Each structure stands twice: as structure tokens, then as C-alpha cells.
Amino acid sequence: MLGIFKRKPTLSTEDVEFQIATFKWLLRNFGGDDFYNHAKLVLPTRKFFPSKVNSEEEAAYETFLAVKEYAGMRDWACRLEAQEEDVDPQVAPTLMIQNVPQNPLGTFQANDNEGIVVTYNPTIAANPTQLVATLAHELSHYLTATSPTPPPGGWENWEFATDITATFLGFGIFMSNSAFSFQQFTEVDSQGWAFNRSGYLSEAEHIYSLAIFLLLKGVEPDIATAHLKPNLKKMLKKCIKEISATEYINELKAVEYLAPSNSNLSQLAT
């Protein structure tokens, strides 16, 4: 009878198993000192992103360099390109074009002719949180593309594993805060509400990944909650409590790091 008052777990058993399996995959292939001694929780502060710039293009480039640095990929060869501007679906104050295709927030491309290219949608250049999350996701593609083994469930799960990878690299606050936004807009001739989703995981899944990162790294949760959206603060505490009641962190800390060969990276970058 009292069972009906139990709180529902944040994630399903299947989603939790995928998260733990993905962290094991990441720790096995990209862990070791790089993770435990060098990876840090990146915060949306001037300390982490101090650059003063004169344009959105400069902001995107400086942010890209900072994200590469914190990801431990400063010397990884790749370049950043802006995508073409999205088509504006509003042709008049009361006239909108339906089903106008929009460019993705970012892309990762690897080919023989152009090398490694990360692109971003210019519309996110003025949104630092979205920009960092997008660049972290695309650089996580670059990193995990060098893995000698596929992510849990195969390469069809690569996008989901890549979102977790961005948190593994320290960008969990940005991934969580940018996963969903809902806001009012007011213009000269119109007003209304708009929402946006980014990435492949839900807010709850991003927060669960962040909780794992904090517990593995021994980072105080309050450091993260100070920079999370209000609705995510309580969720993070709940996830930490749930994970702490299991043996997941001990299992993850027991994962043996396998030093990589350079063959995968060389093959990708040439």
C-alpha cells in the first residue's frame, strides 16, 4: 500500500543502463589521467570564457578555441566554419511559410579533401550557452570517432552517446541548460511563444549524466546547481541521491583505461 507513495525514478531502467554503459565505454577509451586529473566542470563564467570580441564571428571562434582547450583537444587539427543563414519563414507580419527547412545547430565532417570541419549555425552565435553546447557536441563527435569500438548499442546510438560525451568532457551544465528552452517573444507586428530543443537527450538524461560526472570527479553539487536553470536544480539533487544509492560509481571507477593507438586518429585526420 505504501508503495504508491514512492517517488518515480528520474530515468527508466533502460536509459540508466545506457548511461552507465556509455560512461564505461568512455572511461575505457578516453579515461585515465585525461579524465580524472585534467577534465574539469566548465562553468558559464568570465573565468572560463574571458574573451572580449567585436563580432559574433569572433565570439564563435574564440568560444571554439576555449571548448577545444577544456576538452583536451587543443592540438587536434580541425577548423570552424559558419553555415549559410537560415531562410526566414516570416515573409510578412501575419504570413509565415510552412515547413521551411532549417540548418542544424552544428555539424561534424571528416573527409580526405577538407580534413576535419566543425560547422555552426550563425543563429546561435549570440547565445553563448547554445554555442558552447553545440561545439562541445561536435568536438565529442571528433573524439569518439577515434574509438576502436562502437558505443553501446552500436553506431546507430552515436548521437546519444555523443551528448553524454560532451558532459564527460566537462560541459554538462551547458548541455543541460540548452536541452530545452521555452520563451515569449515580442516584435513590432507580432508576439507569441517559442520553444527550442537541441541535442538528442532529454533534460533529465542530461542531468543524470551530469550527476555521474560530479560523483566521479568528486565535485560538490552546489557548484553546478549555482549555474543550472531553476527547474534543473532539484532534478540534479535527486539524480545524485539515486545514483549514490547504487554501486554505479564504484563500477565506473573500476573501469580499466586502455591506452589508445594512434591509428584511428591518424586515419580520421588524413
Q: Which of 118, 107, 39 is nearest to 77 (CA)?
A: 118
Extract the runs of DSSP E, i.e. beta strands, from 163-264.
180-186, 191-197
Q: Would you state the pLDDT for residue 261? A: 66
Task: Look over the chain and give the mean of its residue pLDDT values, rounded to a whole number.
Answer: 85
State pTM to two decimals.
0.85
Going 74 to 75 to 76 to 78, the CA torsion angle's sign is positive
% of residues, the chain, pLDDT over 70: 80
Assigned C-alpha cell, 161: 552517446
Model pLDDT, residue 114: 79
Under DSSP, the state recorded for 121 is -
Burial 242-262 (b: 16+ CB within 10 A, else e): bbeeeebbeebeeeeeeeeee
119: nearest Cα among 86, 75, 165, 72: 86
Residue 85: the pLDDT is 75
Q: Which of 97, 143, 104, 133 is nearest to 120 (CA)?
A: 104
Contact 215, 240 (CB under 8 A): yes
